[in-house]
A and B are shown apart, each in its own frame.
Chain A
Amino acid sequence: MMQTPADIEAQAAIFREVFEHLRDEIGRVFVGQRSLVDHLLLCFFCQGHALIEGAPGLGKTVLVRTLGEALNLSFSRIQCTPDLMPADVTGTNLLAETPQGLREFSFRRGPIFANVVLADEINRATPRTQAAFLEALQERHVTVFGVTHPIEEPFAVFATQNPIEMEGTYPLPEAQLDRFFFKLTVQTPSVADLAEILARTTGTGAVRIAARHGAATVRAMTDVIKQVAVSPPALDRVLRIISATHPGAEEAPPIVRKYVQYGASPRAAQAMILAGKAMALLDGRYHVAAEDVAQVALPALNHRIIRNFHGEMEQVSTGAIVEGIVAATGGNG
C-alpha cells in the first residue's frame, strides 16, 4: 500500500513517542549516560547489533534487558564462556517422539531466537562459537543440519566485552567486529550518578518497567527510518569520512596516516547513513543532514578502524582518531 505524507508524519510522530518512552523507561533503571542510551536505541531501531564495552557492574545487562522489557519483546541472555558450544547458541536437532509414536529429529531453538539477545562477555567464547554468531548477526537466520531457520524481526544482538580482563579471552576478529552496527562504551558513573544508583537499588522499592508497543511497532519504525532521504551534503560527508579513515587516501588527516593500519568498510557508511536517518526523524526532519552523520561517526567507526603498531604503542585511542577524522572533514557542526 502506498503511503501518503500524512502516514509518514504519523509514523514519525509515533517513532519519536516510542523513542522518548524508551529513553524514560531505561532512565528509570539506568542512571545517566544519555548519549549511550540514545545510541543504543538508534542502533536497535536501525536493526543493527551493538558491541558494548565496559567494566563489570556498570549496568550493561540491565540496559539491554530494560530495552526488551519496555518494548514488550522477547529477551534472551547468553553468558559466553570458553566451553560454550555453537549449538548452545543456535539450537540443535533433538530426537523426539511424535504423538503417533514415531521418532524424528526436531529443531530446538537456541537463545539466539529472540528479539533482543544479550551475548555477555562475547570475547570469552571460543572462535568457533563466535563464528556461530556470524550468520545470525548478518543473515538473520540460522542453518542447522542444512535447514535454515529464520530469526523473527526485530532482532538485535547486544554483545558485551570487558576491556580489563583479557586473560583467557578470544578477541573478536575484524570480520566479526565489522558486523556490529555500533560499538558503545559504558563510562564509569559520576559521583552524582553513583549516589542516584545507590538510592534506587539499595532500597525496598522495585522499579517496574511499563511495556508498550511491541514487535510490530518496531518493524514499522524501522521501515519509516529507511524511507528518510539523504541530502547530498550528508552523503558527501559520509563518503569523505569513510575515505579519510584509510591511511592511503588523499583525504586522510595526519593522525590517520600515522596511526591507522586499516580503515572502515562500506558497512560503516551504511551504519552512519541509517543512524543518521533515525536521528533526522527524531529531529523532525525527513532527510539526513551532514551533522547527523557526523554525530554518529564515533560509534560507527570506533571498532572499524584498526590501529597500527605506532598507534597501539602510543596508546592513541580510536576515539581520538575518529574525532580527528570528523574535524578534518568539516567538524560536528
Chain B
Amino acid sequence: MPARSPFESPRDAAAADVLRLVVAARRRLRTVATVRLVAIAAPAGVAAGAVLVTAGWAPAETPRVLGVLGAIAAAAWAAVRTPSLAVVARMLDARLGLRDRVAAALQLQFADGPIAALVARDAAARLASVRMTTVFPLAMGRMPAVAIALAVASMAWPTSSRVGTPEAAPRTASSDSGGTDDASSRTRRDSRRAATTAEPRASGRPATPQPAESRAADDRRDTTREAFAPAAASDRPQDAPPPVASPRGAPVNTAGTSQQTAAAPAAAAATGRTGRSGAGAGSTASGGLTAGAGGAAPGGVLASRGSEPAAPVVSGSFRVARANAEAALARDVIPPDYRDHVRAYFRALPTPSTGAGGTR
C-alpha cells in the first residue's frame, strides 16, 4: 500500500477555497467599479450631449448616444483596470485585518510543505464567513451624484427654456442694459430661430416649418418690445428730467413714469397676454422704471407665467411714478417726449390689415 502523502486534501482544499474567494472578491471589485464608473460616465455623456445639442452643434440624439458610449467605455475601463489577484488579496487583508494571511496563502497556493498547508488552512478559515458584498460595498461616492445632477440639469434647462420663457433672461439683460443693443438682440433672435429650425433637420426628421403668422407675431413682439424699451441715457431726450432716487435707492426716471402707467396695460393688451409677452412687458417696465433692477419683480411689474395676469405692483418706485403721472394728468400737462413715446408705441402695434406697425 503506498504511503499517504502528508500534504493531502486539507492543503489543497483550503488553498482552492482561498483562491475561489479571492477570485470572487476580484469579481465583486470589478462589479463595484463598473457600476460606479458607469454611474459617472453615462450621465456625464448625457450632459455633454445635452450641452452640444443646446449649443446647436449636435443632433438631438447626441445625449443618448454619448450616454451609451460613456457607459460602454466605463465598463471597458473597469474591466481593464481590475486589480490582480495578488492586489485583491492584499485588499482583503487590509479590510479584514487579516495580517497578510490571504496574500501569503495565495502566494503559497502551489507550494508543497506543511507551512503552505497551514497558511492556506488559516486563511480559508478566516475567509469562510466573509461576505464580499460587506467587504466591498457598492459605495458610489459623490461623483456619480454630481454627474447625474449635471445630466438632469443640462437636460432640463433647454426644456424649461423652450416651454417657459426662452427670451426672458436675455431680454431682461438687454433691458437692464438700457435696451440699446438692438442689433445684438436681433442676432440672438435669428440664431435661436436658426437653431430651432436646424435641429429637426439635423436629426433626420422632416423640419416643421414655423407658421408665417407665428414668425410674424414673433417679429412684431420683438419690434414692439424694442420700440417700447426704455431709453438709455444716450437716448434720453435732452429736455427730459433727470432721474431721482427711488425709495429703494434705485434711480427713478421721472420721465418714464407716465410711460410705465400708460405702457404696461397697453403692452399687455398688444401682446395678447401670453406668458412670454407678460415677461417681456414686465422686464421692459422694470427697465424703464428702475435702472439695473434684475428681473421683473424689483422693477415694479411682476412677470406672469402663462396666461396669468400680472401680479399687483407694490414697489415704491411704481407708486412714485404713478403719483407723478396722476399729477401730470390732473394738470393736463403731458411732456412732448411722452407723447412721442405713446405715439411710437401705437405705431408699433400691429394692425390686422398690414400685419405690421401701423400709423395712428
Q: Are these two chains actual partners, yes or no?
A: yes
Binds A, one of B21-29, B109-117, B279-287, B327-335: B109-117
Chain A 7-30 interface mask (CB, 8 Å, partner B; 1/0): 111000000000000000000000
Contact in complex: A232, B114 (CB < 8 Å): no
**CA distance in complex: A7, B115 (Å):** 10
Report if A231-B115 is in contact (Cβ < 8 Å); known contacts: A4-B6, A287-B100.
Answer: no
Of chain A, the residue at the smallest CB distance from B112 is A2
Please state if B115 and A229 are interface contacts (CB–CB under 8 Å).
yes
B33 interfacial by beta-carbon distance below 8 Å: no
Residues in A neighbouring B113, C-beta threshold 8 A: 227
Chain A nearest CB, measured from B112 CB (Å): 10
Tally A-B pairs: CB < 8 A. Answer: 69
Q: Which of A2, A233, A285, A287 contacts B90 (CB 8 A)?
A: A233
Partner of A231, one of B103, B111, B118: B103
Within the complex, the shortest CB–CB distance from A276 to chain B, in Å, comes to 11
Q: Across the interface, do B118 and A234 meet the contact criterion of CB distance under 8 Å?
A: no
Contact (A285, B116) CB under 8 Å given A231-B100, A233-B90, A233-B103:
no
> Are A228 and B103 closer than 8 Å at their CB atoms?
no
Q: Report A-chain residues with C-beta under 8 Å of the C-beta of B93.
A: 233
- Residues in A neighbouring B105, C-beta threshold 8 A: 287
| Residue of B with least CB distance to A286 | B118
A4-B6, A232-B86 given; A9·B118 CB < 8 A: yes
Interface residues of A in 44-68 (CB under 8 A from B): none
B171 within 8 A of A: no
- The complex places the Cα of A283 from the Cα of B101 at a distance, in Å, of 12
Query: Which residues of A have CB within 8 Å of B100?
Result: 231-234, 287-290
Interface 0/1 of B194-229, CB less than 8 Å to A = 000000000000000000000000000000000000
Distance between Cα atoms of A195 and B349 in the complex (Å): 108
B110-128 toward A: CB 8 Å interface, digit per residue (1/0)?
0101111111011000000
Query: In the complex, which of the residues B7, B90, B103, B119 contacts A286, with contact meaning CB atoms closer than 8 Å?
Result: B119
List CB contacts (< 8 Å) of B55-101 with chain A.
Answer: 86, 90, 93, 99-101
- Docked-complex contact A4 and B114, CB < 8 angstroms: yes
* Nearest B-chain residue to A283, judged by Cβ: B99
B276 at the interface (CB under 8 A from A): no
B101 → chain A closest CB, angstroms = 7
Give the residue name and chain of the A residue nearest to B102 (CB). Answer: A231
User: Does B132 belong to the interface (CB within 8 Å)?
Assistant: no
In the complex, are the beta carbons of B101 and A285 less than 8 A apart?
A: yes
> Which of the residues A2, A227, A234 comes within 8 Å of B115, measured between beta carbons?
A227
Interface string of A218-261 (1 = CB under 8 A from B): 00000000011111111000000000000000000000000000
Q: Tell me whether A286 and B115 are in contact (CB under 8 A).
A: yes
CA distance A142 to B169 in the complex (A): 97
The answer, yes or no, to whether B165 is at the interface (CB within 8 Å) is: no
**Does B108 interact with chain A (Cβ within 8 Å)?**
yes
- The answer to whether A287 touches B6, judged by C-beta atoms less than 8 angstroms apart, is no
Q: Give A229's nearest chain B residue, CB to CB.
A: B115
Report whether A229 and B11 are in contact in the complex, using a CB–CB cutoff of 8 Å.
no
Residue contact B99 to A291, C-beta cutoff 8 Å:
yes
A3: chain B residues within 8 A (beta carbon): 6, 114
Q: Is the CB–CB distance between A229 and B99 below 8 Å?
A: no
- In angstroms, Cα B117 to Cα A286, docked, is 10
Q: Which residues of A contact B86 (CB under 8 A)?
A: 232
A2–B113 alpha-carbon span in the complex (Å): 9
Min C-beta distance of A112 to chain B, whole Å: 34
- Whether A5 contacts B99 by the Cβ 8 Å rule is no
Interface string of A182-219 (1 = CB under 8 A from B): 00000000000000000000000000000000000000
- Sorted nearest first, the 3 A-B pairs with minimum C-beta distance are A287-B104, A231-B104, A231-B100
Given contacts A231-B104, A233-B90, A289-B101, 5 further A-B contacts (CB under 8 A): A5-B6, A227-B113, A229-B111, A285-B119, A289-B100
Give A contacts to B, CB under 8 Å.
Answer: 2-5, 7-9, 227-234, 283, 285-291
- 18 A–B contacts, CB within 8 A, in A order: A3-B6, A5-B11, A8-B114, A227-B113, A227-B114, A227-B115, A228-B115, A229-B104, A229-B107, A229-B108, A229-B111, A230-B104, A231-B101, A286-B118, A286-B122, A287-B119, A289-B101, A291-B99
